[in-house]
Structure 1
Amino acid sequence: MSQVFERLQQLGWRGWLHALWKFARPHTIIGTSLSVWGVYVLTYAIARTNISLLSPLGAWIACLCGNVYIVGLNQLEDVAIDKINKPHLPIASGEFSQRTGQTIVAVTGLLALLLAWMLGSYLLGMVAISLAIGTVYSLPPIRLKRFPFWAALCIFSVRGAIVNLGLFLHFSWVLQIERSIPAVVWVLTAFILVFTFAIAIFKDIPDIEGDRQYQITTLTIKLGQKTVFDLARWVLTICYLGMLFAAWLPQVNVVFLISTHLLLLGLMWWRSWQVDLQDKSAIANFYQFIWKLFFLEYLIFPAACLLA
């Protein structure tokens, strides 16, 4: 802990907080935030009961802490690789020492479990399982990120199934409604599950140089950038076309759901045609665009249920 305060003095509050923000991987923080609040709004749309902001606020903080633990642990184990693929990250760049990173990871992991334990068993189960998977994903000797299938399974099982179903069960318990999972929740879960698979395979495309050098086997290394890029596009296409079938559920607004998803599908293909696979920054920008599409789903789908 002393090294944390020492680094704080060196960087200043503003510099230290900026480094912490980079350490937390902002796109994952935004995704986690929208998943918590999106599932809460969806649960409220189903329940149509009194709304309370305290419950999602506590779950949000617990999930943010868990998020920092998972992405932070990954950075602690990938310093050499990140110096090639992501040199801007705090540990790779030297803004944070290894000890500072370890302290942040330990504190956020403990806080996530403690808050979840205080708030309810469903939330505790969701957070504990997510942290366990995040640990075996990054930490030797298991380090599942070395294997394409298991790495993708870790990412889309947490983002797709565990988070959505766990949060819905938690909020259902809080709002005191029936805890059987309705069709609209399964639809959102299926969409995010498949969508996150696209994210999981796409994220390694710009990192091929460092992954190859440190023997991290990815689909990009096995199949090539173009093949994985095309695969990710078609997986996303299946997501959006599959969501059209959900428009016939009575709990959603048909016109809103169909029009928004067809618009985003067209936008995704338009953006993808502009990507130069020889330009690492262009690939990284399109990857961030995919994350923005991911963010939008947690706004669009709950809104479609509220408008029903």
Structure 2
Amino acid sequence: MSVSLNLHAERRLPQPRAMLTLIKPITWFPPIWAYLCGVVSSGTPVLSAPWLVLIGMVLAGPVVCGMSQAANDWCDRHVDAINEPYRPIPSGAIPGRWGLWIALVMSALALALGYTLGPWGFGATIFGVLAAWAYSAEPVRLKRSGIWGPGLVGLCYEGLPWFTGAAVLSAGAPSWQIAVIALLYAVGAHGIMTLNDFKALEGDRQTGVNSLPVTLGPERAARVACWVMALPQIGVIALLFAWGQVWHALAIVAVLAAQILAMRVLLSDPKGKAPWYNGTGVTLYVSGMMIAAFAIRGLV
């Protein structure tokens, strides 16, 4: 026992596997998917600029999203010591200030990659990097708010990558239809982020993070999250009907109906079923995003 403790105390370099865990690959999918939605909605053939598509996917997922996870883990190391003491930083697998240096280096890498995507891609990257630090770091730390924190993350996970993908592929400002649909799905993602806060309920309560599960309680927070996810999708459906994209609108109606069935299961046990919903209802949600992207492509 004493030998293992001494080895832990003397660790100077992070474990490679812990570094991968720190940037949470499982979280990369939503922004990559949203970027691809933007690419599709732009109406520009993907094969006309494959490198812009590939660089944007790497930037949105592993680099910017991974950087945001590293920054969040560094700034939340005291919270994770309560909620998830096995995480790389509180467990000591990433020792000292390595978590901070990783986040800073990835921030610089994000800006360098974003510069290659032109002015729209670079501007979006700057916004994304600043938003990641504003969410997690003092003195701003928007994570403390159950309104602004999930709202900012939803915007950066769904709305910003969608807008960026469309802007980069079309080499200019996206159409207002693209901007409106991307914004609606970003607003709905606020509910997804609220459900994600359930896993940190105890640590948030003890450290003064006023997430909606803390301020409203799990049951009321889950109901609010469901409404926040559903209402923007109703708005998307109404717009697609108005734009003559009837079949796409009906497809999203079906997707939303399936989500509502999943929401009923969620509301029967919000805290216990939140992880399950994140694997089922969220999949349906992002499927609707791609359907909407193809509908807008038809308008273009």
Letter in 1 for 2:179: W
Q: Determine the structure 2 residue equivalent to 1:176.
A: none
Alignment of 1:40-189 (within 5 A): 40-43=39-42, 45=43, 47=44, 51-64=48-61, 65-87=63-85, 89-173=87-171, 179-189=172-182
- Preserved contact between residue 144 and residue 210 of structure 2 (Cα < 8 Å): yes
- Preserved contact between residue 76 and residue 102 of structure 1 (Cα < 8 Å): yes
For residues 132 and 251 of structure 2, the distance between their equivalents in structure 1, rounded to whole angstroms, comes to 33
- Preserved contact between residue 35 and residue 164 of structure 1 (Cα < 8 Å): yes
Q: Determine the structure 2 residue equivalent to 1:208.
A: 201
Q: Determine the structure 2 residue equivalent to 1:7.
A: 15
- Preserved contact between residue 137 and residue 144 of structure 1 (Cα < 8 Å): yes
Is 1:301 matched up with 2:292? Answer: yes
- Preserved contact between residue 199 and residue 290 of structure 1 (Cα < 8 Å): no
SS of alignment partner, residue 96 of structure 1: coil
Distance 1:133 1:180, change over 3 A: closer
Cα deviation, 1:8-58, whole Å, max 9, x if unaligned, reads 4xxxxxxx2xx4443223343001111122211211x2x469622111112
Cα deviation, 1:51-87, whole Å, max 9, x if unaligned, reads 2211111222222311111111000111232233344
Q: Determine the structure 2 residue equivalent to 1:267.
A: 258
Listed as ranges, the gaps of 5+ residues in structure 2 are 1-10
Alignment of 1:11-26 (within 5 A): 16=17, 19-26=18-25
Q: Which runs of 4+ in 1 moved over 6 A?
A: none
Aligned length: 288
Letter in 1 for 2:145: F
For residues 114 and 167 of structure 1, the distance between their equivalents in structure 2, rounded to whole angstroms, comes to 17
Is 1:228 matched up with 2:225? Answer: no
Q: 1:112, CA displacement in angstroms?
A: 0.7
C-alpha RMSD of matched pairs (Å):
2.7
- Preserved contact between residue 240 and residue 265 of structure 1 (Cα < 8 Å): yes
Is 1:283 matched up with 2:250? Answer: no
